[in-house]
Amino acid sequence: MRFSRLFAALSALLWTCTATNDGLTTMVEWDSYSLSINGNRVYIYSGEFHYQRMPVPEMWLDIFHKFKASGFNAISVYFFWSYHSPSKGVYDFETAGKNVQRMFDYAKEAGIYIIARAGPYCNAETSAGGLALWGSDGSMGNLRTSDATYYASWQPWVAKMGAIIASNEITKGGPVIINQVENELQETSHVATNTLVIYMEQLKAAYRAAGVTVPLSHNEKGQRAQSWSTDYQNVGGAVNLYGLDSYPGGLSCTNVNSGFNLVRNYYQWFANYSYTQPNHFPEFEGGWFSPWGGQFYDTCTSEHDPGFADVYYKNNIGQRTTILNLYMAWGGTNWGHSAAPVVYTSYDYSAPLRETRQIQDKLSQSKLIGLFTRVSKDLLKTYMVGNGTGYATSSTGIWTWEIRNPDTNAAFYVTQQATSSSRASVTFTANLKTSQGTIAVPNINLNGRQSKILVTDYTFGKQTLLYSSAEVLTFGVFNKEVLVLYLQSGQVGQFALKTSGNFTHTIYGASNVTATTSSGLTTFTYTQGAGQTVVEFNGILIYLLEQKTAWRFWAPATTKNPDIKPNEQIFVLGPYLVRSASISHGVLHVSGDSDNATTIEAYTGDLSIQTIDWNGIRLDAKKTAYGSVTAQIPGAADRTISLPALENWRSADSLPEKNPAYDDSKWVVCNKTTTQSPVAPITLPVLFSSDYGFYAGPKIYRGYFDGSYTAVNITASGGLAFGWTAWLNGILVGGNTGNTTLTTTTAILALPSNSTKKTGNVLTVVVDYHGHDETSTAKGVENPRGLLGASLTGGNISSGTGFKLWKIQGNAGGNANIDAVRGPMNEGGLYGERLGWTLPSFTPDSKQFGRSSPSTGISSSGIAFYTTTFHLNIDSDLDVPLGIELTAPAGTISRVMVWINGYQYGKYVSHIGPQTRFPFPPGVVNNRGENTVALSLWAMTDAGAKLDTVKLIKYGQYQTDFTFNKDWSYLQPGWDKSRLAYA
């Protein structure tokens, strides 16, 4: 057993401390316990959200609704410089999915705070870690230091983005409460003149100059350093709110029993390095990313375990955490070429909310914690009483944290398996210290990877729960106090209420409940049955919910204020999702989503309710004996969804550039002999794609030479698992099909003598692109892409490489960003991309396009392009998450991209994987109307390639009143003849 006497003593000294602020606003303050907003302590339960990974702004609100309904009162948001600045000095904060003001407005509409994270460096498994890709030519200077060139690069970004953040602060009626400076920047030297200290001071000054007045924060990269805290060796650069990032799961997709080892020193860490500030996790594991060649998210059951949320997030509560952000809460999609090389198209992240915007069990369990922290205000001022194996329990198989409020003496005993990975079922007695003495509470069970928070002297409304071994989900104050408890089916719960005088109680439901009274205390003991049981007792209503029933309990707020009070809620049971609820003229209006037809039950405290309006459907409300109302709501399971087959494909060659007669007179000549890149070119001229204004997407090179050579030595770079292919005068000579561990590959390719001419030879090289590196990889964004060097061998080379000319082609328009709606990372340099064959309203020319399909494919190496249209007619009151499935015959070596209405929403590498299913959201697809789908098929060997599956799929179907059917034309600009200039 371990009792933290030193830390308890330190906490006791801080009980009387007053709130601290940054000297610029008192609307957001803090002390060693929690954040205070407008003078009220608030538990910040936040979810990470990246708007870049959802290009349809209207879907942001859908996601925010689901966050808010699931107990989150905040989101943490990265603002990626790369998304908004296609070229130096050019910024776009208004077009389509880059309209960040809409994101702020939707957050306010949903009633959630925002923690802003504008870097300039973000990481986030996004290309270049979010740094502007125009800096990939080396012009940005010495990254993430006080270097003057780097300062001149990022300062305009922070000035512009900072001003937008400032205008949306809580001080101006907006949702922003915290602004993070940089990201996981480790303070390697606590010396005032260190370049990192100066850099942090520059950034702080820049955000303040932009008008930001809310507290500044930073996130420590695990327990690896002690960085930027005012409480530890502050020589400059320190922020107002120190935070610690932690990803402790250690879970395995292939071994469900590995990992799951809790970290139990967080409390000591914060006590050592940020003792005047709240315990704060700017990033805590909500899932984990999957790499190229790894296991796809949907099949990784260990990451989807709701037990992870139950045990790990409660473990943080037991260590006095009051600011918790889950990374990711919704991961989204690395559409286009926005991914860093460490990830593929999907950024599902095994997050609680699926990439398809679907609620998963992990989110349902996370909700139980969010609704508990929302109303449990005594949690916001606690000190550590003790902790350890066997602490306050009868079993050494149990670890307990005891934290207690010094003002109210309310206590929270967080219990968990002593060996946190254990799957054993352990039953024990807890010795709980209450205002009426220590009480031994028996028959408490932890069923494997489960945690329980036992409370004592817990106030709800005007009532007091002396203790409870059943977990508090939430409580509300209506015409009476309503308390909601939950347990797993078959588990025993015991709770006691302070009473006076005679009492009566009535039980409704299947659970076996007994009650005894003695000395002003009424004790209830019960075994949790299936579904719900309700206890009516002395003007109090108590819901006893089986855990999975609790997953469908909702507490929609009646206020837009993220700090929701117990009397600002309506309780609803049954539906898949409840977005909002309100009462007017005897009608309860409920907005939500339903998967299956079910009973909806609501407790409002308003006895006049006669009707439930579910998504605009008026239903007669039936009153229960205990004061709630019920009705039957429709589902969507029996609704017919007809997805068309993808047929009538048109096809064309998308690599005419391998033909030596191809006209490349408009291409960019590679003529640079020097570069700003910190990486030296292997040969000259410089062939780095960024030096010629081509950043994202595949690049195509054409190298000219005369004479007979026997081989060519090529080095190419495109990020992990990228590949490249070379053709001499139209004949395949080889390349590299991709390696999940290599960002750069080299090959010496033999040049067949029968393919070489005396003059006018053309070597065509297509180099794929899997993103620019984050700074954790060598020089980060400045690691060059494309060809790093090329030289001929086996001939008469007097000097140089043997090549007399190189040309390069990338995305249409280069850094001119000619498609501002879809943005600078959507397209690459393939012929079909450049000519806009992916775009709506493009009509294939009968002279150029045949009628082959991807299932026929191509019989030799090359790149083919396929396009067709399909029509959807999904009912307007349905949400049907859609996607496309691609598979290829075993042994196929190919690279495929797929576009929906011009958005590149899938990159399938058949021989590497793992992704074969690619979801796309409403707005990218028209739920009611015509859609264009295009597909590129790159066969990397002369065996050719084809696909054996190309079909539309649905992930689920939900009846809803959220508007998924709109005129999405503003997001789907079509083809025009200007694209012909890029042939």
Question: Among all residues, which ones are annotated catalytic?
Answer: 184, 283
User: For residues 79 and 207, is the Cβ–Cβ distance under 8 A?
Assistant: no
CA–CA distance, 446 with 441 (Å, rounded to integer): 14
How far are the Cα atoms of 26, 221, 256, 347, 581 from residue 282, in angstroms, in the given order?
A: 22, 10, 27, 19, 31
List 394's β-bridge partners, or say none.
none
Radius of gyration of the chain (CA): 30
Among 422, 375, 364, CA closest to 397: 422
Q: Could you give phi then psi for residue 369, rounded to 5 degrees?
A: -75, -40
The set of residues, in sequence order, having a beta carbon less than 8 Å from that of 680 and lying 6+ positions away, is: none
Task: Return d(Cα 118, Cα 78) in angstroms, integer.
Answer: 6
Closest by CA to 168, choosing from 223, 100, 235, 243, is: 100
Using DSSP, state whether 385 is helix, strand or coil: strand
Give the separation between CA 486 and CA 473, rounded to whole angstroms: 7
By DSSP bridging, strand 44-49 and strand 321-327 are parallel
Residue 328 gets which letter from DSSP? Answer: -
Distance of CA 249 to the CA centre of its chain: 17
- Pairwise CA distance, residues 412 & 432, whole Å: 9
Q: Which residue in 155, 44, 167, 171 sits closest to 103, CA to CA?
A: 167
- At 858, phi and psi to the nearest 5? -125, 150
In contact, 523 and 494? CB cutoff 8 Å: yes
- Helix H or strand E segment including 96: none
Tokens of 864: 């083919």
Taking the C-alpha atoms of residue 150 and residue 140, their distance in angstroms, rounded to an integer, is 5
Residues contacting residue 769 through CB under 8 Å, at least 6 positions apart: 337, 696, 697, 698, 699, 718, 719, 722, 785, 828
Per-residue CA distances from 709 to 31, 144, 747 (Å)? 73, 45, 16
Count helices and strands in the chain by DSSP H and E runs: 12, 54
The strand pair at 481-487 and 540-546 is best described as parallel
CA distance 654 to 393: 70
Contacts of 693 (CB under 8 A, 6+ apart): 87, 668, 810, 814, 815
Sheet holding 553-554, edge to edge: 553-554, 571-573, 598-603, 629-633, 622-623
Residues ≥6 apart with Cβ < 8 Å to 5: none
Mark out the alpha helices in 168-279 (DSSP H runs): 195-209, 266-273
User: What's 311's DSSP letter?
Assistant: I
CB of 804 closer than 8 Å to CB of 705: yes
Using CA atoms, how far apart are residues 286 and 646, in angstroms rounded to an integer? 36
Q: Is 802 helix (H, G, I), strand (E, B) or coil?
A: coil
Per DSSP, 228 falls in state: S
Spatial separation of the C-alpha atoms in residues 188 and 194, rounded to whole Å: 9
Q: Distance (Å, rounded) from C-alpha 211 to C-alpha 209?
A: 5
Burial class (CB in 10 A: 0-12, 13-18, 19+), 91: middle
Cross-strand pairs, 954: 882
Instruction: Give me 341's structure tokens.
Output: 């090389």
